[in-house]
Amino acid sequence: MTIQEIPALNATLNGIATVLISAGFVCIKTGRKEAHRRIMTAAMVVSALFLVGYVTHKVLRHGINTPFAGTGWIRPVYYTMLISHILLAMSIAYLVPRTFLFAIRGDIPRHQAWAKWTFPIWYYVSVTGVLVYFSLYVWWPAAL
């Protein structure tokens, strides 16, 4: 795998996480607790793999950011999405493990209370992660 392929892998992992988070949500809403547990564990693993890939890409590129080449109205839209994505992604690094910890400990009321906040934030971060990839590498790639 080359350094240029890491962003596509990361976007794929984010996409998989989105599907898993969605499936986990459906499972818990339909009373399938064991399936919910397995699927959400898989979502956490996939998200952790994404984080490893993201950090690896940043380290190998020495922190160089990929420029956004979009112009006009899409530029403020993209940066608004990017800023919200980054800020919420930082919170996910704490919220997801904390929410899982309550489930593992069997503290379901606290798990549920935290999940009400963690789920939509994690979902948003996962979806916007894919959109950031497409914005940078597919729809408005910078000429390098």
CA distance 112 to 140: 39
Q: By residue range, what is the domain housing residue 54?
A: 3-139
Cα angle: 15, vertex 23, 116; to 5 degrees: 95
Residue 39 belongs to a domain: yes
Q: Which residue has the tokens 């080359």?
A: 2
Instruction: Using a cut of 0.85, tell me whether the model's pTM lies above it.
Output: yes
Q: Select from 37, 10, 11 the least CA-distant residue to 24.
A: 37
CATH number at residue 82: 1.20.120.80
In a domain, 113, yes or no: yes
Matching residue, tokens 């990017």: 82
Low-confidence ranges of the chain (pLDDT < 70): 144
The reported pLDDT for the residue numbered 144 is 63
What pLDDT score was predicted for residue 47? Answer: 96
Q: Could you tell me if 24 and 111 are in contact, meaning their C-beta atoms sit under 8 angstroms apart? A: no
How many domains, in total, are found in the chain? Answer: 1
